[in-house]
Amino acid sequence: MGLVKGFIMKVRVLLPLAVLATILSMPAVLADWSYTEDVTDHSYVHLSGYIDEMKIYQTDRGFHGQKLVVGTKGSGMIDRRQTAYVYDDEVYGDEMYFNEWGTFDHRSVQDGTGESDLRNALCAKNYEMGTVISESYTNMDYLIKDTTIYQNDNVSIYQIASEGRGTARLGARVKDGPCKGVTIMTYGGTYIGDFNIRQEIGSGDELYLTCP
């Protein structure tokens, strides 16, 4: 019984990142850019109840450009703000900026939605630079986070600041180029309990990192 319960828990933890990775690899048609030169998205949510949301951004279709997926699912008291800018420039190339700031306080609710576990996950890929980063938070009592992603054809900058109680998983990879480049850095971490995390990764020809 313990093994079965452990297996189910592992599947629940890994599922959000598996879904994100699958969506990122799909040859979606979200980015055509025949007429649109840029897209901006700014949103704020205050909620006491249940949330199930996901957003996908990309500058190009298939295994090209920059891509990002972010989602939150579960019950609780939630305040979150998201800002995104996605550009397609013939001179300077593709460009993507994304920030998510939020406070997530888990509270069980009886609303017919099933399990009330509160989860948040994000995955960003820059195919032009060969970089990727992911973060996921599960089994949360509470989470305070401020994540900023900046990607273009020459630079990847990932900044994660999170504090909470639960399970946090972070991972990243930096390669020297998009295809057969040498893997310069691989990072993976699991943090269970009370955590306070600051992680900043930059790759490219022009970097500005603020982590002390």
Would you list the DSSP string of 195-207?
A: EEEEEEEEEESS-
Question: Which tens digit of pLDDT belongs to each residue from 71-126?
Answer: 999 999 999 999 999 987 766 678 899 999 999 999 876 555 555 689 999 999 99
> Which residues, in sequence order, are CB contacts of 45 under 8 Å at separation 6+?
51, 53, 78, 79, 80, 81
Decide the pairing of beta strands 155-175 and 119-126. Answer: unpaired
Question: Is the residue at 18 inside a domain?
Answer: yes
Q: What is the mean pLDDT of residues 32-57?
A: 85
Cα 129 to chain centroid, rounded: 17
Question: Which tens digit of pLDDT belongs to each residue from 174-184?
Answer: 887 766 678 88
Q: Say which amino acid occupies 114.
A: G
pLDDT for residue 151: 92
Question: Is the residue at 96 inside a domain?
Answer: yes
Question: Is the residue at 164 inside a domain?
Answer: yes
Parent domain of 13: 2-27+39-204
pLDDT for residue 160: 95
Question: Is the residue at 113 inside a domain?
Answer: yes
Question: Is the residue at 175 inside a domain?
Answer: yes
Q: Are 148 and 211 in contact (CB under 8 A)?
A: no
Q: What is the mean pLDDT of residues 170-199?
A: 88
Encoding tokens for residue 96? Answer: 């993507």
Question: Is the residue at 166 inside a domain?
Answer: yes
- pTM of the predicted model, to two decimals? 0.80
The percent of residues in the chain predicted with pLDDT above 70, rounded, is 72
> Which residues, in sequence order, are CB contacts of 72 under 8 Å at separation 6+?
51, 52, 53, 78, 80, 102, 104, 118, 119, 120, 121
**Domain count along the chain:** 1
pLDDT tier, 159 (very low <50, low <70, confident <90, very high otherwise): very high
Mean pLDDT (the chain) is 81
DSSP letter, residue 10: H
